[in-house]
Structure 1
């Protein structure tokens, strides 16, 4: 089994990856597959709302969508380009841009919901979700499963335009890189790039029993492999796969 570790090389991509990670948790709990998943869903929802409240996020996402749209126009005259695929991407970009323009504050509807506002305040307190703290939560937990799922979907959909845009931008960023095999000599690997990087991905076999710690700048990086059992540097010569991705500028 291969494990992929990602290292963002600027604050914007770091925020995008955090949003993606919380969205994955939120969607995993949305159907309430096990007892207690409701609380996990609400915690993930509030984490996502906090990430989306950054003042510069919508500006960054809007600029990135427009930059990708312009890049598609540069690809169109090239030979052997799949025009239908470009059309599909362009339609998706246009749709997301329109939805973002129609949004005011992405989390406003979440914050104005009285039920969610009460939960958000109390869930910051350790153990603050008892029936004496949140009787409205215990009333809601007793609702029909289908009703709870539909309500969760409505809350989630309020944030969909911006989270879908982030997911698309990350997917397109990852596609700019190609995997290459390297050797970490003595458990370390160091390299530099002529172009400024935005995302570094490292792929390792789980059977090696190591994970990477990465020190990176926009044009250079160092990878040290750490033994999972000892927590110390692993000095073996081990193969790893690298993927260096950068935005279209």
Structure 2
């Protein structure tokens, strides 16, 4: 069943972007072909761009601390499995300690690597890492699978505490809401929001048999969902049939 996340604020938007980029990096690192390792490295450099533009470490530490405080209040609740609660608290503690252990700015070890930064500069130019532009890079690509994997994992290592913290926070966020089965008449759905604690993200699940996708416009007051179809030759067009879907409003 296809699932779509829509963030309501910049912090969650950043978390989702980093999660998406890490998924691609980690997949390509474990592959063997030099083209996949090329994609892994360029995606890693995109993560570095996001880290440069945000106070990600402090945001993550604050959120982990807040979640730990909330989880501690659940101790003794008969509806909560004590062993599972202890596991989550331990994961939060491990992720927090790993983030604090790195004294430098997130990604600083990569920024100090002059060779990687030269690749990053060229990667911003279409076709800018051709072998005649950066022969040292193509020499690296030709060193072999094991050598490339070792380098990529060493470059990823200082960023993994950030990845682990984001995975924990987004897992808690996605599990925080209650799901509602809804119908979008003629492919359109609107819902007004209320309450003192606005949602931070919504999640939409659509049956695999439905040949459309959602486009969301939302703020703390209202949600507007338009289901579209795609024919790959023009911009998306409105889907005119009723759509059954599941909506989850998530809040940490």
TM-score normalised over the length of structure 2? 0.92
Q: Residue in 1 aligned with 2:240?
A: 235
Deviations 1:166-203 (A, max 9, x none): 11100100000132211111211111333311111111
**What root-mean-square deviation, in Å, do the aligned CA atoms of Structure 1 and Structure 2 show?**
1.5
Match of 2:147, SS state, is: helix
Match of 2:116, SS state, is: helix
1:101 correspondence with 2:100: yes
Q: How far apart, in 2, do the equivalents of 1:111 and 1:207 lie?
A: 46
Superposed counterparts of 1:186-205, under 5 Å: 186-195=186-195, 196-205=198-207
Q: How far apart, in 2, do the equivalents of 1:226 and 1:144 lie?
A: 44
Say if 1:129 and 1:32 are closer, same or farther in 2 by CA, change over 3 A: farther
1:244 correspondence with 2:246: no
| Aligned residues of 2:34 and 2:142 also touching (Cα < 8 A) | no
How far apart are 1:51 and its partner, in Å?
1.1
TM-score normalised over the length of structure 1? 0.93
Match of 2:246, SS state, is: strand
Superposed counterparts of 1:129-208, under 5 Å: 129-195=129-195, 196-208=198-210
Structure 1: gaps spanning 5 or more residues: none
Superposed counterparts of 1:50-65, under 5 Å: 50-65=49-64
| Aligned residues of 1:197 and 1:219 also touching (Cα < 8 A) | no
Aligned length: 246
Q: Residue in 2 aligned with 1:210?
A: 212
| Aligned residues of 1:7 and 1:201 also touching (Cα < 8 A) | yes
| Aligned residues of 2:34 and 2:141 also touching (Cα < 8 A) | no
How far apart are 1:92 and its partner, in Å?
1.3
How far apart are 1:235 and its partner, in Å?
2.0
Structure 2: gaps spanning 5 or more residues: none
Q: How far apart, in 1, do the equivalents of 2:166 and 2:52 lie?
A: 14
